[in-house]
Structure 1
Amino acid sequence: MQVVFYISTYFVGLLAGIMNTLAGGGSMLTLPMLMFLGLDANIANATNRIAIFFQNLVAVTSFEKKGVKAFRISLPLGTVAAAGAILGSFIALDLDKNLLQKVIGITLLIMTYFVIRKPKLKKSNSSTNSILRVLVFFGLGIYGGFIQAGIGFLMIAAITFFIGTNLVRTNAIKVGIILIYTTTSLVVFLSKGMVNVPVGLLLALGNMSGAYLAVRFAIKKGEKFLRIVLIVVVIINAVKAFML
């Protein structure tokens, strides 16, 4: 049974790493999987952050090496999101584990709905208030620090609206922002002893492998490929949500 546990954890992490880097929704697989394997909802939510951290570290490094220089754009936005993530992480810590499990289930369903119905966004004009940008990314940080699931889709929407980059560059900016705020969130959860480190590292190995493959695919195949992936990921998450 342990062999099955290790293999399933790695391959779910692999798939999640690919999904998260190319689009989003990987945590909508890993959170239910970790809970199915016996982790309490609050431990699963915290443990998942190890995988998210290492996955995005690999993704950022790979994008930079492949010539998609986006981290300088991610840094200020990620710093704002990191402040929000601290608040979101403490909110998650304060919730009863049974209540958190229900929140996770409801959130997965809601996120799938909004992914399906997500409106097409255009680049914001020069008159867009910078305060709004700060508030949006601070809010995304709170959400990411709290639960993480589906944050990739929200980040893509926000980056598209405020910056207007193509999907390849948008994903490069996205993984940088998530890397920054996940660092603060992970520190909070580690300090409270909520992280199952061995399971998190095994999951991280899969996520890192998926992130490395995903960056190569994204750059080689381009924006058309990413749009197809987004559609597929939405369908997978929708089916998964209705089976919960």
Structure 2
Amino acid sequence: MTLLEMALLAVAGFAAGILNAVAGGGTIFTFSALLAVGMPPVAANATSATAVVLGSVASAVAYRREIILALRRLLPLCAVSILGGGTGAALLLWSGDQVFRALVPWLLLFATLLFAAAPYIQRALKPAAPSRHRRGDLPLAMLVQGLVAIYGGYFGAGMGVMMLASLALTETGGYHAANAAKNLLAIVLQVMAVVVFLFSGVVDLELSLIIAISSIIGGWVGVVAARRIPQAVMRHLVIVCGLALALWYFVR
């Protein structure tokens, strides 16, 4: 690993931290940077997922009050997230580099399009006024969350938007209540996936640490940037870069 490659990973982590703080979608950059320095696709995805966990924890801390209030109600969704995250990680390791490499451009394209649609999805999920939580839709929400968790354990980019859609079945207290629940479930499934990755030995802890530290710094800067840079500008940057990366991997 050269200094230039380490700098590339640090910049990718820093940019991902900013983007995740402002709009989300930073995983696309960290995963692509790891591929650029020569890591095999499966190892790159596992290393990126390990680095992202710290950022999810930081986001959850900001929503600690909402999470504590909803914790008992979210326990069934946490359980399926554990199973789904572990299953997705196991599927990634089982499929291997050749299959995953063929899926990378499609996954990047899907994640980018999902990210582009996020504002419309979030707008549709916002209730006109807070109301009681719906319990009758819990079985369906558990099924959907299980599928989302499998995807999150396998790849992860774009899973936040997918989780907001599944949480709309049970969380009717407003966008921030659903977003807080999303952060908790993201941690649960990511930690389970990371445990599987660590035991498999595919994670490069040194590179993951570089990305994690720089993304935490980027997240702090992102809070400041969010007050100065229009969110639409940041979102368009992610979409353009995501589509460009998907196109690049399609033609390689």
Fold agreement, TM-score > 0.5: yes
Normalised by the length of structure 2, the TM-score is 0.79
Offset from partner CA, 1:203-224 (integer Å, 9 cap, x none): 1112222334446777x79xxx
Query: In the alignment, which residue of structure 2 is the partner of 1:185?
Result: 193
Alignment RMSD (CA, Å): 3.0
The alpha carbon displacement at 1:85 in A equals: 0.6
1:182-221 Cα offsets, whole Å, 9 max, x none, are 1111111111111111111111112222334446777x79
Residue 195 of structure 1 aligns to a residue in which SS?
Answer: coil
**Length-normalised TM-score, structure 1:** 0.82
The number of equivalent residue pairs is 237
Distance 1:171 1:231, change over 3 A: farther
SS of 2:79's partner is helix
Tell me, in whole angstroms, the C-alpha distance in 1 between the residues paired with 2:235 and 2:168.
14
**Rounded Cα–Cα distance in structure 1 between residues aligned with 2:225 and 2:168:** 21
1:241 lines up with 2:238 in the alignment: no
Secondary structure in structure 2 of the residue aligned to 1:95: helix
Matching of residue 122 in structure 1 with residue 125 in structure 2: yes
Distance 1:238 1:156, change over 3 A: farther
Counterpart of 2:203 in structure 1 is 195
Q: Which residue of 2 aligns with 1:99?
A: 99
The one-letter amino acid of 2:242's match is: N
> Which structure has the greater CA radius of gyration?
2
Query: Could you tell me how far 1:180 is from its partner in structure 2?
Result: 1.4
Task: State the Cα deviation string for residues 103-162 of structure 1 (Å, max 9, x = none).
Answer: 122111122233335654235884752111101111111001011122122223333554
Q: Output the amino acid matched with 2:139.
A: I
Equivalent-residue separation in structure 1 for 2:225 and 2:164 (angstroms): 18
Local SS of the residue matching 1:114: helix
Q: Given the superposition, is the C-alpha separation of residues 141 and 240 from structure 1 closer, same or farther in structure 2, using an over 3 Å criterion?
A: same
2:70 alignment partner AA: I
Residue range with higher mean Cα deviation, 194-203 or 19-28: 19-28
- Once the two structures are TM-superposed, the CA of residue 176 in structure 1 deviates from its matched residue by 2.0
Match of 2:130 in 1: none
3-state DSSP of counterpart to 1:194: coil
Going from structure 1 to structure 2, the CA distance change for 1:172 and 1:17 (only over 3 Å counts) comes to: farther
Change (3 A) 1:134 1:213: farther
Partners of 1:13 and 1:206 within 8 A in 2:
yes
Local SS of the residue matching 1:108? helix
Taking only the aligned residue pairs, the percentage that are identical comes to 24
- TM-fit CA distance, 1:227: 6.9
Please name the residue that 1:13 is paired with: 13
| CA spacing shift, 1:236–1:36, aligned 2, 3 Å | closer
Counterpart Cα distance in 2 of 1:188 and 1:78: 17
Conservation of the 8 A alpha-carbon contact between 1:23 and 1:152: no
